[in-house]
Amino acid sequence: MAAPDPLPHADSSVERDEAALIRDVRAGQKELFYELIQPYERGVYLTAFSIVHNQADAEEVAQEAFLKAFEHLDQLRSDEKFKNWLLLIAINEARMRRRKDHRNLYESIDEEAVEADDGEFMPHQFADWRDVPSEAYAKTEIKNAVLKAMESLPQKYREIFLLRDVEHLSVEETSKLLGVSKAAVKTQLHRARLQMREQLVPVFGKRWSDRLPFLKGRSPW
């Protein structure tokens, strides 16, 4: 009797080229779809979350987005990045979900009002920052603080910030995905970054006045 194969799925551990995976899934090897989407599961969820603002809805949006991606995989053009195509599907799904949800109608109006204020952003917190070892990023306190800061951003800022600074898309890619100009991406990203920084000062900041008390109260801005 032959000994059982110690590595019956050894072939699946071999990293496949994404283009080859797409070709094979299109050719009918459905089970390879899971391998294809694995690197993007987190990004699709976070993108959905940045729009629907709710964990359960973001999960459902992600599920529907991946299903749509599977069903329409033949529509992916060869010059398109699979990641960006997926994120666009997720953005559209999340926006549809948001529109259907009447609870968000009022929030949207409030946020439009916030965004209508185009005044210059002025920092209020001048604290220097501690050097935080990257091992500390996994701490619940830090994760909660960053999530809370992100949730405090107006909707449009949040989407741009997520795509640029969390998913590391370029200005051009972000502009294409969200259907806004590159100038708008840069302006709103700038405001989002400063607001995120401001929100996180209580967690990472040392009091400015503790370091340079003679400057207390003076603001060059």
Partner 1 sequence: MVTCAEVLRELSNFIDGDIDPKLRAEIENHLRGCRRCSVMLDSTRKTLKIVGDERVFEVPVGYSERLHKFLAKKLGTE
Residue from 73, 76, 96, 146 that binds partner 1 (CB under 8 A)? 146
Is the Cβ of residue 127 or residue 184 nearer to partner 1 in the bound state? 127
What token pair was written down for 52?
């629907």
CB of 114 to partner 1, least distance (A): 19
Strand, helix or coil for residue 187: helix
Q: Half-sphere exposure of 217 toward its Cβ, with a 13 Å CA cutoff?
A: 1
Site string for partner 1, 14-53 (x = CB under 8 A): ----------------xx-xx------xx--xx-------
Q: Which stretches of the chain are assigned E, i.e. beta strand?
A: 128-129, 205-206
**Minimum CB distance to partner 1, residue 97 (Å):** 16
**Residue 68, helix vs strand vs coil:** helix
The owner of tokens 């968000």 is 104
> Would you call 121 helix, strand, or coil by DSSP?
coil
Output DSSP code: residue 86. Answer: H
Per-residue DSSP letter, 127: -
With respect to partner 1, which residue has the nearer C-beta, 177 or 201?
201
For residue 155, CA distances in Å to 11, 107, 112, 193 come to: 43, 9, 9, 14
Q: In whole angstroms, how close is the CB of 135 to partner 1 at the nearest point?
A: 9
CB 59 within 8 A of CB 149: no
Enumerate residues 104-133 that contact partner 1 by CB under 8 A: 120, 123, 126-129, 132
Q: Which is nearer to partner 1, 12 or 105 (CB)?
A: 12
- Which residue ranges make up the site for partner 1 (CB under 8 A)? 30-31, 33-34, 41-42, 45-46, 55, 59, 62-63, 66-67, 70, 120, 123, 126-129, 132, 134, 137-138, 142-143, 146-147, 150, 161, 165-166, 168, 171, 186, 189-190, 193-194, 196-197, 200-201, 204-205, 208, 212, 215, 220-221
